[in-house]
Amino acid sequence: MKKPPRDEPRDDLSVTPPKTWAAGVPAVVHALEYSLEQTAPKETAVDLLTMNQVGGIDCPGCAWADPAPGHRHRNEYCENGAKHINDEATTRRITADFFRAHPVSDLAGRSDLWLNQQGRLTEPMVKRPGSDHYEPVSWREALDLLAGELRALDSPDEAVFYTSGRVSNEAAFVLQLFARAFGTNNLPDCSNMCHESSGFALHETLGTGKGTVGLQDLHHADLIFLVGQNPGTNHPRQLSALEQAKRNGARVVAVNPLPEAGLLRFKNPQKVRGVIGQGVRIADRFLHIRPGGDLALFQALNRLLLEAEDARPGHVLDHAFIRDSTSGFEEFAALVRQTSWDDVLEATGLTREEIEQVRDEVLNSSRVVVCWAMGITQHKHGVPTIREIVNFLLLRGNLGRAGTGACPVRGHSNVQGDRTMGIWEQMPDSFLDALREEFGFDPPRAHGLDSVDSIRAMRQGRIKVFLGVAGNFVRAAPDSAVTEEAMRGCRLTAHVSTKLNRSHTVCGRTALILPTLGRTERDHQTGGEQFVTVENSMSEVHTSRGRLKPASSLLLSEVAILCRLARRTLGQGPGNIHWDEFEADYHTIRDRISRIVPGLHDFNRRVARPGGIRLPNPVNEGVYRTATGKAVFSRNTWQAPDVPEGHLLLQTLRSHDQWNTIPYTLNDRYRGIHGSRRVVMVNPVDLSALSLAEGDRVDVVGVWHDDTERRAEGFEVVPYPTARGSAAAYYPETQVLVPLDSVADISNQPTSKGIVVRLERVTP
């Protein structure tokens, strides 16, 4: 184990050609290197060998599904999962001495990387009003303080309770129960910022908020679309599923503004042929699309399919399916037939021939899966884009059959489960009624605030208390300067966390750090050793059981913190909620969940089985809970973003050495960026047009229709094969450029993949 860094890492950029393949031996080397920097060989071995195994630790990283029990590799994890779990299992510790040496004002000037590298939080800390230091505080005083502030509010709606996707089902259920018993639906979550557009679009068109595919479907698809996603970095285990699909004969069409290594070729480091061979080519076709051009692409494909049907009636569309199981086809078809090729080619940056070749791929395939991620959802027209993808799937009956379906690829291990547990500001009455029946209190019915609206409310002084359970809200949220100012206006900010991050340094008048157990750690309660449950992106609910000794004896589990807080805040009321029981034994929470969340009946018994519970998707049962009772063809229109001459459309993205808001190093080896994150990647042709050259220093300046200047300073220009007219730079450093009001229609999700910017040269 290496000691935590005292100083900030030095920026020293070097650029090498982007990689054309992902994983392989370097992935193993980098994973082990980072793991052993963070922790001891024994801990590394324990957590890696139990990770994603039956009865083991669920990787706190992405939400990709595990293979069925009996089919898992002994090392069932990826490079980024290994880094992520050992980043949590680190043996570095932050003590009270650390906070004595580093006032909040000092910490606020530190980088995300430096803060994370200091190690695990070990005891509760408070920053009192007027003080520039966190100081130790007992759990009792910390929770009394928080409960006191909550009780002192004029209205429960002056508090927000934020959740990140690391939170277990049990903690999520307890949190939403507490918030609603307290009297508010203010339950923003990280979903609001990643796949909210998917949820709204799928719910409206298919009557389900979740993806319809399982691993089996990917394995047996004829054609797989990977749209607006980077599996090599963000969901590396998806590459194993794609490898299997390819070996079964599938073809893959990748659609992305950047030719990411993981989209091109995969060398599976767990197989000999991946170590010494050439690996598997992933994308048979790569569409180098402009950011946000995906709606136009799918509309063009849909038009081409309709025209193919005209040419060969009865041979292209699935008429029986359209007739029996869908609504709105005629209206949809009438609109799509008017799609203008000029507009499509302008929006996508593709040629008509490229799109027609994909049409041919579709016509040659009887089973199609479309996968997508935030390259789709984080655009102003994210919801219509996903609705158009659904149209595309419906036309040829690519839903509900084996080897077909819609696959939103979610990025945080339990982000889907938290929503299943009721973490949503707009939960339907059926759920709230079930809470009332079970617990004997009447939950509030007025919709609460999502993430963007929470920040708006904080700015207006309407929110006094912010509690974040896991995550790094300040860095995940858009418009960094605005968000930070809003947070600082709170009376109290509190974070339940495992490690230090910037959210702890952007304090309300009073601030609390409530340190908690990580996924990797054993969780002993008075009812015995506990496990928690999570739900992956394919609706499989299973257990996660920590194996390591906790980082400190003063850590409490998330469930324990929330139960104790609830007790202190609510006293004996309302209703009959036994917080003590919940804290002592999580089985009692799951018993309650089983009576409230449809599909999780008999939860404790069923989740204990190897592989856990597979929640059915109604679409695969022939059920569409939409307004028409059928799958809905939708009519979608779009407007290309107005990018003035001399400007670019910026998308924010993660580096390979990064998990969500936390970079592990300054490197991004797949893209060939080393030693710095303050880079902006631009197509060489655009650079010439902008009279910029490699190595120029620029400020990236956001353009938005308010008078606020949003500026990310001191970036180095890197020529990179981004799609023409676009640029890419790392998140969260460029979150400062995403206006709070630049949100996706309908879903209110920040548009972090479609920001108009200009590059201003900085003279050294």
The answer to whether residue 413 forms part of the interface with other proteins (CB under 8 A) is no
Distance (Å, rounded) from C-alpha 341 to C-alpha 329? Answer: 21
Confirm if 219 and 248 have CB atoms less than 8 A apart.
yes
**Residue 140 or residue 625: which is nearer to other proteins going by CB?**
625
Please give the size of the binding site for other proteins, defined by CB under 8 A.
63
DSSP string, 237-258: HHHHHHHHHHHTT-EEEEEESS
Asked if 582 interacts with other proteins (CB under 8 A), we say no
CB 218 within 8 A of CB 476: no
Q: Which is nearer to other proteins, 137 or 250 (CB)?
A: 250
Lay out the sheet containing 280-281: strands in order across.
22-23, 265-267, 280-281
Under rule CB under 8 A, residue 363 binds other proteins:
no
Give the residue among 90, 83, 80, 81 at the shortest CA–CA distance from 119: 90
Q: Which of residues 258-297 bind other proteins (CB under 8 A)?
A: none
520 binds other proteins (CB under 8 A): no
- Interaction between residue 428 and other proteins (CB under 8 A): yes
Site string for other proteins, 671-690 (x = CB under 8 A): --------------------
Residue 193 Cβ vs other proteins, minimum distance, rounded to whole Å: 8
* Stretch 11-70 residues interacting with other proteins (CB under 8 A): 68
Q: Tell me the residue ranges of DSSP E strands in 151-296.
A: 159-163, 223-227, 251-256, 265-267, 280-281, 285-288
Q: Does 625 bind other proteins (CB under 8 A)?
A: yes
Nearer to other proteins, 233 or 539 (CB): 539
- Quick one: which of 548, 727, 418, 630 has its CA closest to 85? 548
Applying the rule CB under 8 A, the residues between 229 and 258 that interact with other proteins are: 248-249
By CB under 8 A, residue 178 contacts other proteins: no
Q: Which stretch binds other proteins (CB under 8 A): 313-321, 511-519, 573-581, 688-696?
A: 313-321
Least distance CB 311 / other proteins (angstroms): 22
Cβ of residue 363: shortest distance to other proteins, in angstroms?
A: 17
Region from 350-358, 569-577, 610-618, 651-659 binding other proteins, contact rule CB under 8 A:
610-618
In 3D space, the residue among 217, 578, 580, 536 whose CA is nearest the CA of residue 402 turns out to be 217
Which residues between 195 and 214 bind other proteins (CB under 8 A)? 195-196, 198-200, 202-203, 207-210, 214
Diameter of the chain by CA atoms? Answer: 76
Q: Is 427 in the site for other proteins (CB under 8 A)?
A: yes
- How far apart CA 95 and CA 381 sit, in angstroms, is 46
Distance CA 444, CA 422 (A): 13
And the tokens for 197? 């557009």
DSSP H stretches of helix in 522-618: 558-570, 579-584, 586-596, 603-607
Q: Quote the DSSP letter at residue 228.
A: S
Which listed residue (18, 257, 403, 448) binds other proteins by CB under 8 A? 403
- Interface with other proteins includes 504 (CB under 8 A)? no
The footprint of other proteins on residues 628-647 (CB under 8 A) is 629-630
Length of the chain: 764
Q: What is the dihedral of CA 138, 141, 145, 150, to 10 degrees?
A: 100
**Residue placing its CB nearer to other proteins in the complex, 375 or 550:** 375
Give the residue, chosen from 114, 162, 424, 659, that forms a contact with other proteins under the rule CB under 8 A: 424
614 is a site residue for other proteins (CB under 8 A): yes
Which one among 31, 94, 160, 194 touches other proteins, defined by CB under 8 A? 194
User: Would you count residue 597 as binding other proteins (CB under 8 A)?
Assistant: yes
Both tokens of residue 621? 């049962």
User: What's the Cα-to-Cα distance from 730 to each of 3, 214, 477, 657, 685, rounded to whole Å?
Assistant: 27, 31, 14, 11, 21
Least distance to other proteins, CB of residue 710, Å = 25
SS3 150: helix
Question: For 671, which DSSP code?
Answer: G
Window 727-756: residues binding other proteins (CB under 8 A): 747, 749
* Part of the chain binding other proteins (CB under 8 A), chosen from 392-400, 491-499, 524-532, 751-759: 392-400
User: Taking the CB of residue 71, how many other CB atoms lie within 10 A of it?
Assistant: 9
**Residue for token pair 């650079």:** 687
623 near other proteins, judged by CB under 8 A: yes
Tell whether residue 471 is a contact of other proteins (CB under 8 A).
no
| 253 vs 600 by CB, closer to other proteins | 600
634 token code pair: 């939708």
- Asked if 603 is part of the footprint of other proteins (rule: CB under 8 A), the reply reads no
The answer to whether 281 and 254 are in contact (CB under 8 A) is no
| 382 contributes a contact to other proteins by CB under 8 A | no
CB-wise, 365 or 617, nearer to other proteins?
A: 617
Q: CB-wise, 220 or 677, nearer to other proteins?
A: 220
Q: Which stretch binds other proteins (CB under 8 A): 1-9, 52-60, 412-420, 693-701?
A: 412-420
Q: Report phi then psi at 383, rounded to 5.
A: -65, -50
List 652's β-bridge partners, or say none.
729
Among 96, 402, 457, 608, binds other proteins (CB under 8 A): 402
- CA angle, corner 658, sides to 232 and 263, nearest 5? 15
Contact segment (CB under 8 A) with other proteins among 109-117, 176-184, 620-628, 695-703 equals: 620-628
Q: Where are the alpha helices (DSSP H) in 256-293?
A: 261-264, 272-276
By CB under 8 A, residue 220 contacts other proteins: yes
d(CA 357, CA 366): 16
Instruction: Report whether the peptide linkage leading into residue 644 is cis, meaning its omega lies within 30 degrees of zero.
Output: no
Using the rule CB under 8 A, which residue among 123, 189, 523, 657 binds other proteins?
A: 189
Rounded distance, CA 414 to CA 585, Å? 21
Here the tokens at position 229 are 């996603």
Residue 367, C-beta contacts closer than 8 angstroms, at least 6 positions apart = 220, 221, 222, 223, 398, 401, 402, 403, 404
Taking the complex as a whole, the smallest distance from the CB of residue 71 to other proteins amounts, in Å, to: 9
Instruction: Confirm or reject binding of residue 7 to other proteins (CB under 8 A).
Output: no
Please identify, among the stretches 258-266, 308-316, 398-406, 543-551, the one whose residues bind other proteins according to the rule CB under 8 A: 398-406
Asked if 325 is part of the footprint of other proteins (rule: CB under 8 A), the reply reads yes
| Residue whose tokens read 């920026």 | 11
Q: Is 401 in the site for other proteins (CB under 8 A)?
A: yes
Stretch that binds other proteins, among 334-342, 438-446, 625-633, 667-675 (CB under 8 A): 625-633
Cβ-based nearer residue to other proteins, 201 or 698: 201
Q: Is 387 in the site for other proteins (CB under 8 A)?
A: no
8 Å CB contact between 258 and 728:
yes
Q: Which is nearer to other proteins, 611 or 721 (CB)?
A: 611
Beta strands 326-327; 631-632: pairing state: parallel
- Look at residue 443 and give its three-state secondary structure: coil
* Shortest Å, Cβ 45 to other proteins: 30
Decide: is 192 part of the binding site for other proteins (CB under 8 A).
yes
Q: Which of 7, 12, 154, 621 binds other proteins (CB under 8 A)?
A: 621
Could you give the CA distance from residue 725 to residue 415 in angstroms, rounded to a whole number? 33
Contact 594, 604 (CB under 8 A): yes
Cα distance between residue 531 and residue 550, in whole Å: 14
* Cβ proximity to other proteins, 19 vs 210, nearer residue: 210
Nearer to other proteins by Cβ, of 44 and 539: the residue is 539
Residues that bind other proteins in the complex, under the rule CB under 8 A: 68, 189-196, 198-200, 202-203, 207-210, 214, 216, 219-220, 248-249, 318, 320-321, 324-325, 397, 399-403, 415-416, 419-420, 424, 426-428, 431, 539, 597-599, 614-618, 620-625, 629-630, 747, 749
